[in-house]
Every structure is written in structure tokens, then in C-alpha cells.
Amino acid sequence: MTSTPQELASKDINTWISFIRNAEIPVLKHTAREVARLKEDEDNLSARAISTAVLNDPMMVFNVLSFSQNHRGKKQLQDLVQADQAILMMGTTSFFTYLSPKILVEDMLKTNLPALMHLLKLVRRAHQAARYAADWATHLADLHAEEVRTAALLHDLSEMLMWCFAPDKMNAIYAMQQADKSLRSAAAQEEVLGFKLIDLQKELVEAFQLPPLLSKLMQDNASGEQRVRNVTLAVNLARHSANGWDDAALPDDYRDIAELLRMDIARVMRIVGTPATAASNIP
């Protein structure tokens, strides 16, 4: 779908929700290439093989889960929170018929390379958060660690989509924060976009009817619950460490994670991969 100047200029969150609901959600070029390769051998494929390609791309995971929620079969009695479950339920034929990638991130942003670089960094950060969350869920004997992984992977979906659909606005937000390190993200987002990305995320989850469990796991304000706190802390650690292992917020992250996992801070730093040179500077 081609956006209009009015939509791109809008600071109304409902206008953006309407636009995104009717837009093709782009995926990474690597994802599209891998799906096309798998389709060539469709008759001999398993759902697991497709899942491996899908799980490398948060936006493709979102496409799969939203399609699954909106095309529930009569035999589906519960929400599917994991992409591999959704693909198994819909079958390979339906996947290739309805979910073969059409729009590529790299094509959308080929004239805005800074935005593309920021988006790709965000995707890498989402994968790191997902790995942290899944590892910690296993440590906590969570029998559904993959649900926590999915929630961490999609936690910043709204930011990913805005880098795709409003790259100039997102570049402006980034520039403002680089110029003023004390400027909070939410304040910069409201000034440029007219709303906070966390609010857009909540609206997107509702508009695309994602599973309530997934929605709950992505809500930072419910972080009193262990599984939600796991996701929140994993996302925070991935975000802060992406700025460098000397980021000022990391000591608080380590303390919070130590409390969650019930282990000492030194061990937390070892399991998350804090470099020895950075670890020596933590009080």
C-alpha cells in the first residue's frame, strides 16, 4: 500500500493504526529469499523448516501470528503464541499461499540508508533480548520459555514499523537524542510523532488481535509478574548493552536481573557476556 503525504504527516495515533492495518508489513530480504528457496521444495517441507526462516525476522513472526489469530480454524481452541505452532496449525500450503513475502525492508529504505541501519540494529537487539529472555526462562524452570522469547522479540515492533513507514521522523528523533543525551525517548517521540511508541505498540497488539498472553508479556507496566519482568529486563539489557558495555544504566540492569534469577551480580555479568574490562568497573 502506498502512503499518502497526509498519513505520513499525521500525529494522530489512530490514523497510523489505520494505515498500518491496511499496509503490507515488510520483511527482511534474507527472509524473503529463504522462504522462496523453501517453496521450491514445498512438497518435502516440514513446518519446522519454515519456522526456522520465520523466527529470524520479527516482522515475519508478527505476520504469521496476526494471520493465525484472524484465520482460526474450528479445531483451534486456544491462542497460538509461538510462530512455529501457528505454522504447524495452518500448514505449509496456507503459509506459502497467504504469507509469502511481498514487500522488503531493504527496498522500502533503499533511499534512506541511515534508517535502514537503525532498523537492522534494532532487529539484532530484538534477537539478543529474545535470547536473554529464553535463557532466563529456562533457568527459572518456565515450561513455556518460547512464549517469553516471542514476547521479547516483538517488544519493540512498533519502533521497527515506524522505521519502515516513517524513516524521516525516526531519524529526527534519533538526531534529537544524539544532540541532547538527557532527552528521554518518550518526550522526543511525542514531539516528533505526536505519540509514544509504547502506546502505538499497545494499539497495534489490539488492532491485529494478537493473543492476550503475548500482549500481557510485552506490557512493562505489569512487570511485577515474573514472566513479564523477565521480558522487560531482557529488553532493557539488550537496549543498554547495544550502547556499549559502559552504559550507565547497566549496573541497575545487573542488580534487577540478579534479583529475578536469584543469583549474585558477578554471575549475572558472566552469563550475559559482560566483557571482563567492563565488569571490573562495576561497583
- At 14-32, the pLDDT tens digits run 999 999 999 999 999 999 9
- CA–CA distance, 85 with 264 (Å, rounded to integer): 36
pLDDT tens-digit readout, 61-87: 999 999 988 877 655 546 667 888 888
Nearest C-alpha neighbor of 34 from the set 10, 51, 59: 51
Higher pLDDT, 88 or 164: 164
Q: Is pTM, for the whole model, over 0.85?
A: yes
The whole-number pLDDT of residue 257 equals 97
pLDDT higher than threshold 70 for residue 2: no
Q: What's the angle, vertex CA 184, arms to CA 183 and CA 186, rounded to 5?
A: 135
7: enclosing H helix or E strand: helix 5-9
The whole-number pLDDT of residue 195 equals 96
Q: What are the sequence ranges of the domains in the chain?
A: 27-102, 110-279
- CA–CA distance, 94 with 120 (Å, rounded to integer): 28
Q: Which long-range contacts (CB under 8 A, 24 or more apart) does 115-121 make?
A: 115/163, 115/167, 115/168, 115/170, 115/171, 118/163, 118/170, 118/171, 118/174, 119/160, 119/163, 119/164, 121/242
Q: Which CATH code, of 1.10.10.10, 3.30.950.10, 1.10.3210.10, 3.50.50.60, is assigned to 110-279?
A: 1.10.3210.10
pLDDT band at 168 (very low <50, low <70, confident <90, very high): very high
pLDDT higher than threshold 80 for residue 275: yes
SS3 state of residue 78: coil
Q: Over pLDDT 90: what percentage of the chain? A: 67
